[in-house]
Amino acid sequence: MTYEIKEEDKFKFVEEGEGETLLLLHGLFGAMSNFEDLVDHFSKKYKVVVPILPLFDLDIFHTSVGGLEKYVQRFIESRGYTNIHLLGNSLGGHVALVHVLKHPELIKTLILTGSSGLFENGMGDSYPKRGDYEYIKKKTQLTFYNPETATKELVDEVFEITNSRVKVIKIIALAKSAIRNNLGDELNQIKQPTLLIWGNNDIITPPFVGKEFNKLIPNSELHFVDKCGHAPMMEVPDEFNAILDTFLEKHTTKV
């Protein structure tokens, strides 16, 4: 299903359903399409919100994990959300972690999948090459256990991004910011119930990263998914949604 992207107060976002807020943060090459199965499923019971992060619209000094976190905070304040179940994939997980450390009062639970924040291997062994479609296709396929998950539409999206010099500069700035912004010493401050869903075949943030998050975040539970890479909500949506359903049921206030 295609969802309407709303524009209010300079923010672009999707908001579907009613109930407690489930706020989803996408990653560096992410977009609304990453979360379609998740929105379909959870908007029946929750208010599911996906802000479109301004990865390429912030000035270069604020093109960082911290700059994106401030944007998320302004968005939450503008919309008046409270009791938020905050979910982030990849760089979006990193932004979620920084946010919950700075503004724990509005966050009810935290959900991370393939998150950076401890170890980062964003584009693998090299920066994106402009103009080389096959290279971009192979790199996009590496995100997943099953390379066919990288549809032509998805590869085209990534290729369009990496074909812009300005966007590539900002990708590199965000990737370097993620590497610098290591949260290992702060994760023990997170008090929210935390769910970690990790692909057993994730080569960008490998399984040991999930285990390390589990060790460092006090009230956390870790679930591994077989035959799955860096974006479980895209590659194995039914299994991902079932794990998240069980977790949210435990932490949602019954009316």
* Segments of the chain with pLDDT less than 50: 122-126
pLDDT number for residue 4? 86
Residue 78, pLDDT score = 96
pLDDT of residue 123: 40
For tokens 């919950």, what's the residue? 100
Assign residue 62 a region: left if phi > 0, alpha if psi is -120 to 50, beta otherwise? alpha
Residue 103 pLDDT:
96
Q: Quickly list H helices, the chain.
A: 36-42, 65-79, 91-102, 133-141, 152-162, 165-180, 207-216, 232-235, 237-251
Q: What is the pLDDT of residue 120?
A: 58
For position 22, what pLDDT does the model report?
98
**Predicted model pTM:** 0.94
Residues 6+ apart with CB under 8 A from 203: 121, 124, 142, 229, 230
Query: What per-residue confidence (pLDDT) applies to 175?
Result: 86
What letter would DSSP give residue 253?
P
> By C-alpha distance, which of 70, 247, 108, 72 is closest to 190?
108
pLDDT at 79: 96
Q: What is the pLDDT of residues 214-229, one digit of tens each?
A: 999 999 999 999 999 9
